[in-house]
Structure formats: C-alpha cells, structure tokens
Chains A and B, each alone.
Chain A
Amino acid sequence: MVPPSLLSLKLRESRVRIVEECFRREAGASAAMPDETVDLIETGIFDSMAWVSFLRGVETASGVSDLGSALNEQPATLASVFAALQTSCADVSVQDDPAPEMVRPGSGKLAFITGSSLRLGSRVIPSEEIDRAFGMPIGKLRHRAGIESLAYASDGENELALGAKAAEETLRAAACGAHELDWIIATSETHHNYPSLVAQLHSRLLARENCGALDVGGACLGLVNALAVAQSLIGSGAAQNILVVTADVHSRTLTPGRVKGEFGGLFGDGATAFLLRGGSGGESNFGYRLGKFLFGCAGQYAAAIQVSDDLEGGLAVQFDGDALSRAAIARLEKIIRAVELRSGIPRASVGHFATHQPNPRLLTLLAKQCGVSPDAFPPICRTSGNLGSSMCAAALHAALQNASRLPLAERKPIFLASLGPGLLFGGSWLSVGHQ
C-alpha cells in the first residue's frame, strides 16, 4: 500500500502537470507560469474567452466536470483552479500510481484485456470492383481514400457467425471456458434484428444462463463504450470475466442503389472479441490494463453524418464527406491530446494508436497532425475498409498482437480513440499490467 501522503503528492503533481499544460496551450508554449495568486484576466494574461477555454481544457484533462461552476465568485487565478480541483469529488488520474485501486470505488479490481481476436469477412474484394459496383470512376476508392481492398462477408457469414468465431478464438487463446463468463457485451452498427446480437451470441457460445448479456450502441464508438461498461462491471465487483464482441456486416446494408459509393464503398465486414478479466495488478501473465475513459458528444458535427430508414425501406444517408473528414481528424487529435494529458503518457512513448479509421488517407493525415509515425496506427482499413464498430477494435487487436511479440519490458502503452455519429467520441489508454 502506498502511504496516503505519497498518493496525495502524486495527485498534486498530476494536477500541476495538467494545469500547466492547459495553460501553455492557451498562453503559448513558451509562456512562463505566473504566480498562482496572479489574476489572469486582470493582468491581461488571458482574456475572458481564453480563461474559459483554459478551464474547459482542464476539465477535459482532469475529468472534473464542474470546474467552471466551482470557480464562480472566485478570482481568475491558478490558486483558485487548484483549490477547485482539490475539492472536486472526481479524482485526477495518476498514471504511475502503483496502487491505483486506492482511488477506485467498489472491489478495487482493475480490468485487463487478456485475449483478443479478429475475424474479417472472408471475401477480399479489390477496391476497383467496388468502384464498378457503385458506378464510380475506377480507382476512386484507391486514389481518393487509399483503400486497396475490402473484406466482405461470404454467403455463410453474418454478424453472429463472425462474432461467434472471434469470440471462440479469444476464449480459446485465453484458456477461458464460456461457462466462466459473467457478462457478454456486444456492439454492432449493422445488426438490428431480434433476438439481439448479444442474445444470439450468448446462446451460440453456450454461456451460463445467469451470464449477463448486454447490447451497447454508439456505432463506431461501440467498442470504447463496451470496454468502459466492462471495466465498470469489473471495478464494482459485479463481474470477473467479461467478453466484449463487435460485429459488423456493412456489405448487405450499404449496397449499390441504396447508398452512394462515396459512402457505402468505404465499409467492409468484420468482427472482434476481447476477454477482460479482473485483477489487482499483481498477477503475472496478465495482459494490458485498461486506463480511465473519457467520453463526450461534439454536437456541432451532428449534421456531417446522419443515417435513417426512409419510407421506401431504403436508407436515407446524409453524408458530408469533407465536413466529416475535418471533424474526424480534429476530434480524434483532440481525444489523443486529452488521453495524453490525463494518462500522463507522452504520445511519443505510445506503442500503438488504436483509433477509428475512416479511411487510410485520413489515418495518414491524423498521424501527421498528431506528429507521430503512421506506423503506430495498424493499417487495417487499407485492406479491409472501415469496419464500423469493429474498426477501432480491429486496430486494438492488431496492436495487442504486435505488442505480444515483444518481451514484456519492451511493450508500450496503447491509446484508444474513436468516434460515432453525433459526433460521439471516446478514448482511453492501455498500459502493460504489473508483474
């Protein structure tokens, strides 16, 4: 156990780091930190817009959501900010905290990903064939979006078949029987039938009857939502082993004649599965530990992508590709910045970025915007297309696979960042479990 005084010191250091970083984002990278008692508005260091912007940055990075309200009737000083952070009920993350369970409610169990699997649609279709099917100029998907091929489900494959395969492989790899599962959590942006996907998976896998089954939404953000729910269930003591499954078959929904190729041609089919287990962090052979999550909804981008059923049984798709591209890159970078700040892990020391991948061209752009190597982004979408809720998941699986080939000491953290229509967003990080 870490002495409370040391934990308090670490929390203080974490808050100072967050406040300093957010201050410099507003005031400029070379700006000197003012004395804590200096009024930032009265002295002209910030105008009122920069002051509020700075506070919003601190809120996002610290997880304290009511900072602005707490600072009413207080001077615009750093001392006020630190005092408000101190009194806030939310705890500020300390990434290197050797006993993070001390600040966790419930059982104090941490969530580890101990196995994963990816199942892509078994038909690999060159992107030129998709161009042709949608009546687009041949080469458009390759040259404009960077997509070389798409993974499409074959006749016998659907969300259930792909998801069940991925789940079975994951359980086998982790040596975990389906009867050991406490919960199955599934997410899909293409499966809208009942019984729901998770109900069908529960039966297919022959999980215990009292194993919980939960479908979560969020479309491309589905995996991050599902992992957050799983982590909470483990942390509260309600579960020890949880299977998270994603499965998407776009090729039967986003078809030529139903949607335009510039939209429908981007998507492929696939499924993933992850086994999460609760642990204290002291066990050996455990995998990656899930960090804290941040979520939100950037409603200013809501109009960039909207999909609904139309009266004729088709799909009404509103898709402003340029606006969505700009929004996706800006927001993904913002998530990565927030995860970096909250975790205390510099992006330069991250092994992989498991993000949503709208298309390969945007992935390259995102890497450039973030100032990191494109190699840190597993290039799944180049050969399989955008996999929807399974996209970030496929990237995470690839990142875990790559890491597993390295000696434990050389494994690096993984950042998670994804988006869904709305524009929903979420992120987290994974760090190597303690030995």
Chain B
Amino acid sequence: MTKLLITEVTRMGPAFCVIGLQRDKEVIHSVRPIPSTANSWLHFPHKRGDILECSLVPFSAAKPHIEDRVSTQGFRKFAEMPEAEIVNWLRKAEVSSTLSGLFGCALRENKNGSGHYVMPGEAQRSICGCDTQNLRLELCANELRATLVLSSGEVLRDLPVVDHNWRGFVEQALGPERGANRMNRLERFLNSQFHYKILSCPHHFVRLGLTRPYHDVCWLMLDTLFPLPKPEWFEEF
C-alpha cells in the first residue's frame, strides 16, 4: 500500500484530476493516481490535505505525464494535514523559479492569441511548484484566468485556472443567491482583497501543470493556488 498526500484536485469540464505527494526514501515526488480506464475521475470523494492509503501501479506513461499511476483499489483515508503543512511538503517536491525549469524544457507561446505550451516530447514532467512575486486572477469572458510573475521575473499570462476549490469559489460567488451585481462584486474582490490575502499569506504557493497532449501540444494551466479560498471571504464582497 502507498501513502499519498492529496495536494491538488483539478477540474476541467466534468472530470477531476488528482495529484498527490509520495515519499520515496528521502525524495518527495508527485504522483497522479488515475483509474484503470481513463485519465481522470468523474467522482473523487477526498479533498486536498487528505492522506490516503491506496494501491498504485506504475506504468510507462507517455511523456510528459510521467507521474501517472494506475489505482488498482479504492482509497482509504488515513489522516489529514493542514493547508500550510501541505505547502511545506510541496516545496520539497518539484519546484522551479524559472520558466525553463518548470517542465525541463522551453515554453512556447501561442502565435495566434494567448496561452503557453510545451512539446510533449520535450517536457520532463507535467507538474511543478513555484513561488510568485505577484499573481492576478481575472474573469475573461466567463473563463477564470491567472497571470503571474515568477521569482525570476518571468511572466505567464492567461493560464486557465483548473483548481477545483478556486473554481468552486468563483462559481459560488456568481451564484444567484448572492444577489445583485455579482460579477462586478467578484471583480472588485479579485482586484483588491484577494490580492492582499494571497500575497500576504505565508504559505502562498502555486503549482502549474500541463494538459494532456491536445493537437500535439500540452498547454500550461494553474493547477493549484495556495492559500485556498475561505468561505468567510464571501462576507467581504
């Protein structure tokens, strides 16, 4: 059995992708449990910070998703860890302060519009953590996007935000029960309090990931943003 600390739950459409940290002697590395018949989960009953016991089988996953492991049994919750401690462990796993270090290859920009991608054969991994000097979330035509600047001063724009918690927070913020002018209020929050809450948080940390190859390239996404959103923040906007 393997012990896995769940560090990210991401969502694209109806599917969930889960990534956790596994300790292999002194090395902490990311592992992506997947069902035997698909790359993602339609239902995942656990949350970030859960430490799960599970049975994972390595297989020769296509680059760059080398972290994939097939889950052969159900997950059993063993314990759970607070948010700040998760980040401590994430800092011991895959991290980079530069763009080229994120996935071990050069990033390319979309010539047509926005977004960055890597060539699947060039990338050495599909997930990496990083510190940011600054970060902004915005709604662009109803799509949640992140722009951030790494410690190196390099900027990434228009990253799709697939963090399940943050997407859920935004959806809830725009829910009809929230009253009038929801979009304006959310935008105001993202442009003001959000910025302070995120950047002043001692365990502010970001994990970036790569999509599965789509039209022969893997696009960059913002998989996880720490701190996670708090329900009480809804009272502020």
Which residues of the partner chain B approach A83 to less than 8 Å between Cβ atoms?
none
Which B residues, 185 to 225, have Cβ-Cβ distances below 8 Å to chain A? 187, 219
Determine the residue in chain B with the shortest Cβ distance to A73: B183
Contacts beyond the supplied A51-B143, A300-B109, A330-B109: 14 A-B pairs with Cβ under 8 Å: A51-B141, A52-B115, A52-B143, A52-B158, A53-B112, A53-B114, A55-B140, A68-B138, A71-B140, A73-B183, A298-B155, A299-B157, A300-B156, A302-B154
Q: What is the bound-complex CA distance between A73 and B182, given in angstroms?
A: 10
Which residues of the partner chain B approach A22 to less than 8 Å between Cβ atoms?
112-113
CB distance from A88 to the nearest CB of B (A): 14
Q: List 11 A-B contacts (CB under 8 A).
A: A22-B113, A26-B112, A49-B115, A51-B143, A53-B112, A55-B141, A57-B114, A69-B140, A72-B142, A297-B155, A299-B153
Q: What is the bound-complex CA distance between A4 and B153, given in angstroms?
A: 47
Measured as residues with beta carbon below 8 angstroms from the partner, the interface class of chain B is 20 to 34
Q: Mark B148-183, 1 if CB is under 8 A from A, else 0.
A: 010011111110100000000000000000000001
CB–CB B113/A57 < 8 A: yes
Q: What is the bound-complex CA distance between A54 and B154, given in angstroms?
A: 23
Which residues of the partner chain A approach B116 to less than 8 Å between Cβ atoms?
300
Q: What is the bound-complex CA distance between A385 and B152, given in angstroms?
A: 30
| Contact residues of A: prevailing secondary structure | helix
Which residues of the partner chain B approach A334 to less than 8 Å between Cβ atoms?
109, 111
Determine the residue in chain A with the shortest Cβ distance to B174: A73
A323 within 8 A of partner (CB): yes
B100 within 8 A of partner (CB): yes
Q: Which of A52, A76, A303 lies in contact with B145, CB distance below 8 A? A: A52
Chain B residues close to A by CB (< 8 Å): 98-100, 106-116, 138-143, 145, 149, 152-158, 160, 183, 187, 219
CB–CB B160/A48 < 8 A: yes
Which residues of the partner chain B approach A55 to less than 8 Å between Cβ atoms?
113, 140-141
CB distance from B128 to the nearest CB of A (A): 15
Which A residues, 49 to 75, have Cβ-Cβ distances below 8 Å to chain B? 49, 51-57, 60, 67-69, 71-74
A129 within 8 A of partner (CB): no
CB distance from B171 to the nearest CB of A (A): 13
A326 within 8 A of partner (CB): yes
CB–CB B113/A53 < 8 A: yes
Q: Which of A52, A72, A337 lies in contact with B114, CB distance below 8 A? A: A52
CB–CB A26/B156 < 8 A: no
Which residues of the partner chain A approach B99 to less than 8 Å between Cβ atoms?
300, 303
Which residues of the partner chain A approach B183 to less than 8 Å between Cβ atoms?
72-73
Which A residues, 5 to 56, have Cβ-Cβ distances below 8 Å to chain B? 22, 25-26, 48-49, 51-56
Q: What is the bound-complex CA distance between A426 and B207, given in angstroms?
A: 32
Which residues of the partner chain A approach B100 to less than 8 Å between Cβ atoms?
323
A333 within 8 A of partner (CB): yes
CB–CB B113/A25 < 8 A: yes
CB distance from A272 to the nearest CB of B (A): 30
Determine the residue in chain A with the shortest Cβ distance to B142: A72
Closest 8 CB pairs of A and B: A299-B155, A53-B113, A68-B140, A71-B141, A57-B113, A56-B114, A25-B112, A56-B113
* Known A302-B152, A302-B154: A26·B113 in contact at CB below 8 Å: yes
CB distance from B189 to the nearest CB of A (A): 14
A319 within 8 A of partner (CB): no
Choose among A51, A67, A74 the residue with the greatest number of B CB atoms under 10 Å from its CB. A51
A263 within 8 A of partner (CB): no
CB distance from A15 to the nearest CB of B (A): 17
Which residues of the partner chain B approach A49 to less than 8 Å between Cβ atoms?
115, 160, 219
Q: Which of B109, B111, B140 lies in contact with A298, CB distance below 8 A? A: B109
CB distance from A359 to the nearest CB of B (A): 20
